[in-house]
Chains A and B, each alone.
Chain A
Amino acid sequence: MRFSKYLIPLALTIAVVISLTLSVVLWTNPANYRTNKQTAQSPQTQQMIKPRQYVYTPVQAIHTNADGSQQIMVNKLVNTVTEVKKTMRNYQKPKIKTLSKNSKVDYFRIANQTDSIMLNYSDTVSMRAVNYIVKNRFRKLPNYKINRIILPTNNSTKLYLLYDKNFTVYEVDVKKHSLKSLNKVLKMDMRTQPASFKLLNNIPTVYVTTAVQMQPYKYLIDRQSDDYYVSRLLNTQDSTNVSVKRRKNMTIYGDQSSLQLTFNSNNRMAEFSDFRPNKNRRNLTSAINDSYKNVTKLGLPMDNVRFFSYDAKNRTIMYRTYVEGFPIFRANGFGTVSTRTLNSSAQRTRFSLDNPEVPLPSNKGYVSLPSTETMLKRLERGGYDIKEISKVRLGYTWKKDSTSPLLIDLNPEWYVYFNKQWRSYTSLMNQY
């Protein structure tokens, strides 16, 4: 029979082809070679790694009333920014257009519009960072630089993105959505602080218009040992290669080729230098991405740690721990962790071994700080050139507690960016 004559060779050919295909698939699949072991991340570190939308988030929310008066929404029982962010996950069909550029009038008309909430980033971020908040809905929008987001509480089809440097206003049109949840946030339990949004030395700045009441805090700190970071960061194939040098209060660990970890036992700071080749990227989005990877690699507790600033000149990104929505400043103005790319074969991460963990009840009453205007006037009277100040922030000063090495005090304080460093108002005033 003609048919059965070809049946066996045909079946044989098919069987051979199938076995060849399967063999190729199996051989080229890397999963085959991986032993089925659990990824070596301890539960602790999994929890410590915070997602990008947690770290690169606006840090302040300001509400503009129907009568145009403005107030900072200060965290009390809820984190106000987080609550506002929760209402932003459902934007449909976003379309962006540039409303104006280089016009301060237009910029402030949009920023200070009545019935709106303004979310402020601590420093310029790119659209990618905004995209994290809105659950990836803005992924198709161009990667503009952004400082602020304006959410009208009475217009359900529009929101605005602002870029401070050249006073650009972008309008994002979205499909009509419910504003109920956004308006509900305004009724939540929070403290408010009267404010106004205007220019300081040609830079858009949030002014606090009355004296501010702020709560001092006591915190229990998470005290990490040197060993923890040595084993995490210098964990090369064989640990016998790690060398140790001690000099006064410095301890230097190295893997003899490309990694170095320095601890300062005096101020409990550490510095990790990585001399392996890096991507050396310069644009904002890549810089932020590379920095995020370096920070998460550390295994530092990231609770309430937020992106604070990016210095494009020396490519330094600073992160700070926030309390009640205000950043913590340590001695010499340092935050919690900073990353810096020096060139294509040097990256440096500085971080603190002590970090705030649990807030403790403090019996100290609220502290009153002067309004922004008053504070600046006093500095001027103290002989400082106000034109040199580019940023002002309310913050907390980190101070060791006298009763226990595991406790710190956080005292409210004004901070100004003066002569390329963050200085507290009292330290400036005490200088004379």
Chain B
Amino acid sequence: MNFRRIEIIFLVTFIAMDIFLFGMFKKNMDMQADNVGQGGSDSVIIKEMRNDQIKVGSLSKKNETAYYISGEQGDVLRNQMGQLINQTPQFVGHELESELKQPISVNKDNPQKSINTLLEDSTFVLFGNQYVYSKNLSTSRNIVYNQKALGSSIYSSEAQIRFTLNSNHQIVSYTQSYLQNIKSLRESSRTISETRALIWLYQYNEIPNNTTVAWASLGYTKLLSIDGDRVFIPTWIIAIRPQNSTQIQLKRINAFTGGIIKETDENLKNNPSSMN
């Protein structure tokens, strides 16, 4: 073996080593980039979620502002239901249930378009202009409107109108609940972004594999009741649907603290231990 051949062997070996080292170097750089800044780590976690077969659409990173708000359950609906015409209203619990004497036809594809105009009429629905259509909660036979509150809307059965449609696209009845005296309890504060909310839900292990995030929406949901008063907090409501299923599951993330909210319905004063 002459010296030249040894040189060539060395050259080939070192070039191979260089390629290997460069590969490692690049991987290192990526790893560092992952650790830098929240934006970077956010996208890494989103990537991780996609690896777990969780389907996520595009997410907003915008922080919004919201309030702590309160509302009262009262008798306004009962007191004013006399003004409703062409229907038989009944006040049950805290809800107004009303059956229409004559079904009203609505737009076949976009029933909310017809209902929006109907809501202007205070002899059809009380305080109709204080509600807003919720596409997410509505189905073809059940149209849901949420009560508006300080630039957002309340996701609660205590502040909702649900219209029942028959197969001929006609409203046959509706159920209404209403909160009065909605006011802010404190000045506005920043909320977490949609991306953060989803990431935290994922990190709490609340999103199983093989699911689709159907929608996410910022609204007010009930935190607790004190006697007749209801306290609402801004919440990221995230709908999760297992793949090959139509059943939707709603998860709630406190939009101020990022904590997960489990369903509770106790009155604070009756059961203080449940509010930990």
Contact = CB atoms under 8 A, between A and B. Distances in A.
Contacts, number: 111
Given A26-B24, A26-B25, A15 B15 contact: yes
Nearest to B7: A8
Interface residues of B, number: 49
Interface in B1-47: 4, 7-8, 10-11, 14-15, 17-18, 21-22, 24-25, 28, 31-32, 34-35
Nearest to B44: A38
A79 interface: yes
A407 B276 CA distance: 12
Nearest to A223: B276
A43 B256 CA distance: 12
Interface in B158-198: 183-189, 192
A1 interface: no
A244 interface: no
A361 B69 CA distance: 9
A358 B231 contact: yes
Interface residues of A, number: 42
A44 interface: yes
A22 B11 contact: no
B272 A406 contact: yes
A78 B187 contact: yes
A16 interface: yes
Contacts of B186: 323-324, 359
21 contacts: A12-B14, A15-B15, A18-B18, A22-B22, A23-B21, A29-B28, A31-B28, A36-B34, A43-B204, A76-B184, A77-B187, A77-B188, A78-B188, A79-B187, A220-B224, A303-B189, A323-B186, A359-B185, A361-B70, A405-B272, A406-B272
Interface of B: 4, 7-8, 10-11, 14-15, 17-18, 21-22, 24-25, 28, 31-32, 34-35, 67-68, 70, 72, 183-189, 192, 199-200, 203-204, 223-224, 226, 229, 231, 233, 256-259, 268-269, 272, 275-276
Given A26-B25, A361-B72, 9 more contacts: A12-B10, A22-B21, A26-B28, A31-B32, A77-B184, A77-B188, A324-B186, A358-B231, A360-B226
Interface of A: 8-9, 11-12, 15-16, 18-19, 22-23, 25-26, 29, 31-32, 36, 39, 43-44, 46-48, 75-79, 220, 223, 301, 303, 323-324, 358-361, 403-407
